[in-house]
Every structure is written in C-alpha cells, then in structure tokens.
C-alpha cells in the first residue's frame, strides 16, 4: 500500500469525522432538532469507521475500492473549511437556519457527494458491493436535510 493512497484515505476519514463533529455542535445547540443531528452524526461516524476498516483490512491486500475516495484536493479543501467552521461554532453556534444551510452545503461538497454517489452506483467489485451493503441505511444526507428543512419551514439559502 503506497503512502499517497494511505494519506488520501486518512484525509477522507478526517472529512467524515469533521462532518460528524459539526453535526454534534448542531445537536447540542438545537434541542428541537437534536434527534435529527444525532442520527446524521452517527452516520458520519459510521462512514469514517467504514473507511478506517477498509484502510486497515483491505488496503494491505490491494483490495480497497479506490473509487470511494475523491481527489485529494477536494478533500483538503473541504476539511480546511470544516476545521474553520468547527473552531468558529464551538463557541458561537450559528443560527438554526444557518446550521441547516451549512449542513446542506457540506453534504453537497465534492468529498461528501463523491462518497454518496459511490455508495449508490451499480458495481462489479465484490468489495465495493460489501461497502455499499454496510452503508445501506446511511445514504442521501443532502436530501434528508432538505426534506427536514422543508417540513420544518427552514429557509434554504440559494
């Protein structure tokens, strides 16, 4: 397993962890939406664990489905943005509307969209198919956020 591939996988894991931390901030800040944020936070944690398991068990055997990983630059950019938001929101959570719009934007980012598309596309790889089955219930975060916003009359910023 080459070092660049490991770095790419670790950056993808960090993205999922950062998104989970963001959702935990929102969970703590908005009791009326706490269950919603908690579920998304758990799913992001599951995504990170899924990638970590792949890195540990499948990469040494050259079986890791590389199509799970977006380009490094997209991951770095998304993580940089998330780290900035985490620092800012730890002490000053955004408004409820902003929280939902930030989450929607985050789920539409290159890294998250890439992961979601890979989890839903038809595949020939038995290993990727196994990853898809493991991730079966943790899909379509952007659509779920959008639907929750509409149901709760939270404005979607364009």
Q: Which residues of 89-117 are buried (b: 16+ CB within 10 A; e: fewer)?
A: beeeebeeeebbbbbbebbebebbebbbe
Those residues with Cβ within 8 angstroms of residue 156's Cβ, 6 or more apart along the chain or in another chain: 100, 101, 104, 146, 149, 150
Per the CB < 8 A criterion, the answer to whether 5 and 66 are in contact is yes
- For the chain, the straight-line distance linking the first and the last C-alpha, in angstroms and rounded, comes to 42
Residue 157 in domain: no
DSSP 92: S
Mean pLDDT by 10 residues, the chain (158 residues): 80 94 98 97 90 80 74 91 97 98 88 67 72 63 91 92
Res 110: pLDDT: 65
Residue 40 in domain: yes
Q: Among 118, 11, 122, 24, which residue's Cα sits nearest to residue 75?
A: 11
Range of the domain at 67: 3-151
Residue 156 in domain: no
Consecutive H or E run containing 125: none
CATH of the domain at 37: 1.20.1260
Q: Which residues of 20-39 are buried (b: 16+ CB within 10 A; e: fewer)?
A: bbbbbbbbebbeebeebbeb
Res 5: pLDDT: 81
Residue 132 in domain: yes
Residue 76 in domain: yes
Count up the domains in the chain and report the number. 1
Res 58: pLDDT: 76
């Amino acid at each position: 397993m080459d070092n660049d591939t490991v770095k790419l996988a670790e950056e993808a894991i960090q993205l999922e962890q950062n998104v989970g931390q963001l959702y935990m901030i929102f969970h703590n800040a908005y009791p009326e939406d706490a269950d919603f944020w908690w579920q998304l936070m758990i799913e992001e944690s599951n995504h990170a664990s899924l990638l970590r398991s792949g890195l540990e068990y499948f990469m040494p055997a050259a079986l890791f489905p590389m199509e799970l990983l977006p380009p490094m630059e997209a991951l770095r950019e998304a993580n940089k943005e998330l780290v900035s938001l985490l620092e800012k929101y730890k002490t000053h959570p955004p408004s409820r509307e902003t929280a939902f719009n930030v989450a929607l934007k985050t789920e539409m980012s290159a890294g998250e969209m890439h992961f979601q598309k890979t989890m839903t596309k038809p595949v020939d790889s038995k290993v990727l198919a196994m990853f898809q089955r493991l991730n079966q219930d943790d899909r379509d975060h952007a659509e779920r956020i959008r639907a929750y916003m509409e149901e709760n009359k939270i404005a979607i910023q364009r």
